Structure 1
């Protein structure tokens, strides 16, 4: 971290689409904001390729909405940001690439097709502006293989280095800033094992009854996780934020219909893997704070 004792503690998460900010970081945003940490959300695209699931809209209304879906989802994102008490929200300005293999992956304005150096430059500018000690994004697989999530990983890793190197992007006219740590969001593999077992025992039909489902490769191995943050106090904030994304998350989504005990276990803890450190590497027991060993 650049040594500037007057710089406020700042948490920045780089996400691909509106609603991604809730899963994995929503409670962390709300918790740190309450603790006086400056919170910054960077969203790469506006989710133009996503499906519209709002049951209040018929097919004709959905068709009419698609041309302005980016605008609609930007307003939903604004409500989510308010629910999570995120202080600063910025857009990288790219188009949603759609799921892997879709024709939309080739759209010239998509995040997937972005000029890499330019995309890194846009994020470096935000890092130098807000000076986060902690950066968060997805792992190399983008959590589930979405092209925009993978691109977010690539760009954030490059920006982690470039932001602290004065020779990179001097045209920004912003002083270099080196974040202390870069984390990846994660879901422990043990959670998936327990969740699938509970779902199977419930007798409810679902993908968990597929004999080919292999929980051995789901989620992140528990031993790789370095931080677990207790955000049970902020579950209501996360529910409000999820509700704000009504074109993407329907009222019958599992986060609303799952029994409260299971829902609270899923939403009440957020996990992170330490990916990069300008201080030192993680070893030993799970930490409970992304700012551990801060100056």
Structure 2
């Protein structure tokens, strides 16, 4: 019911919008694909409420695109998926809720307003289909407080348990599957403070120049980090994937304009916090892998 030694190792990440897959997990996707691990991306919405930043479009063109923005971003997502060598990409089928406090949060089709049991059921179906041993999503704050990121955290935690419980969603007609580990994406607080300081000293324009930015509370406390994946080899793939999301990430975005060494530091490592384990809790030195000691 839970683990089958004949089941291939499978990594699943649950994200809220197109482009989220690159930040925090893009290199990990490419890394595990190269290691022969099956990779699965679950995207909850199509980013219908996001701002259009493509400089090739004037305001009239942006206004014309907005009603079909989800369709446009679905195609951008496909390109990013290809760049990161993600083997399976599935949609949960909800609508972007927009940033916290906006009227779009109340849209009946938004992820924020989704029937919780239905949202969990959709994810349980994918977990039972693909049988991932490792699942990754955001922390309880959704990384930065976006309603859809918070909802992704909520349904992933519930689905982690429900997928392995045969009494939950028997109508799916899929055998139960208990994932082994659930991780949250993370950015070490020490790295955030160091990176923001270096960016400010570089003179490059960017969000780090906002005087209201409190770097002392940014990121995840270092002692909570359980895992660091070295993805420096895959930085070019991450850049290619970010470039694919051209309606969301402009060519002058700081990710593209950072000096080479800072780019390596920002994009070359992906960090995680082990929060749920059907095997054992984490102790001691940082893991270098997400699939350590599964047996």
Same fold (TM over 0.5): yes
**In 1: Cα distance, 2:204 partner to 2:121 partner:** 48
How many Å apart are 1:247 and its aligned residue?
0.3
Q: 1:150 to 1:258 in 2, by over 3 A?
A: same
**In 2: Cα distance, 1:212 partner to 1:181 partner:** 36
Comparing 206-215 with 28-37, which one deviates more in the overlay? 206-215
How many Å apart are 1:3 and its aligned residue?
2.3
Q: Which residue of 2 aligns with 1:261?
A: 261
Q: Which residue of 1 aligns with 2:232?
A: 232
Deviation track 1:208-255 (CA, whole Å, cap 9, x = no partner) reads: 345543222100001100000000000011000000000000000011
**In 2: Cα distance, 1:263 partner to 1:58 partner:** 30
| 3-state DSSP of counterpart to 2:144 | helix
1:212-251 pair list within 5 angstroms: 212-251=212-251
**TM value normalised by structure 1:** 0.98
Q: 1:209 to 1:59 in 2, by over 3 A?
A: closer
| 3-state DSSP of counterpart to 2:239 | helix
1:160-171 pair list within 5 angstroms: 160-171=160-171
How many Å apart are 1:206 and its aligned residue?
4.9
| 3-state DSSP of counterpart to 2:182 | strand
| 3-state DSSP of counterpart to 1:144 | coil
User: Within the alignment, does 1:284 sit opposite 2:267 as a pair?
Assistant: no
Q: Which residue of 1 aligns with 2:208?
A: 208
Q: How many residues align?
A: 295
| 3-state DSSP of counterpart to 1:46 | coil
**In 1: Cα distance, 2:210 partner to 2:94 partner:** 37
1:51-130 pair list within 5 angstroms: 51-130=51-130
**In 1: Cα distance, 2:81 partner to 2:206 partner:** 32
**In 2: Cα distance, 1:9 partner to 1:267 partner:** 25
Which consecutive residues of structure 2, in runs of 5 or more, have no partner in the other structure? none
1:42-53 pair list within 5 angstroms: 42-53=42-53
How many Å apart are 1:2 and its aligned residue?
1.5
| 3-state DSSP of counterpart to 1:93 | coil
Deviation track 1:160-208 (CA, whole Å, cap 9, x = no partner) reads: 0000000000000000000000000000101111112112322445553
Q: Is the 8 A contact 2:17 2:44 kept in 1?
A: yes
**TM value normalised by structure 2:** 0.98
Over aligned residue pairs, what C-alpha RMSD do you find? Answer: 1.1
Q: 1:212 to 1:244 in 2, by over 3 A?
A: closer
**In 2: Cα distance, 1:229 partner to 1:215 partner:** 23
Q: Is the 8 A contact 2:3 2:177 kept in 1?
A: no
Q: Is the 8 A contact 2:225 2:271 kept in 1?
A: yes
How many Å apart are 1:287 and its aligned residue?
0.2
| 3-state DSSP of counterpart to 1:45 | coil
Moved over 6 A (4+): none
**In 2: Cα distance, 1:206 partner to 1:126 partner:** 38
**In 2: Cα distance, 1:58 partner to 1:276 partner:** 47
How many Å apart are 1:136 and its aligned residue?
0.3
Q: Which residue of 2 aligns with 1:159?
A: 159
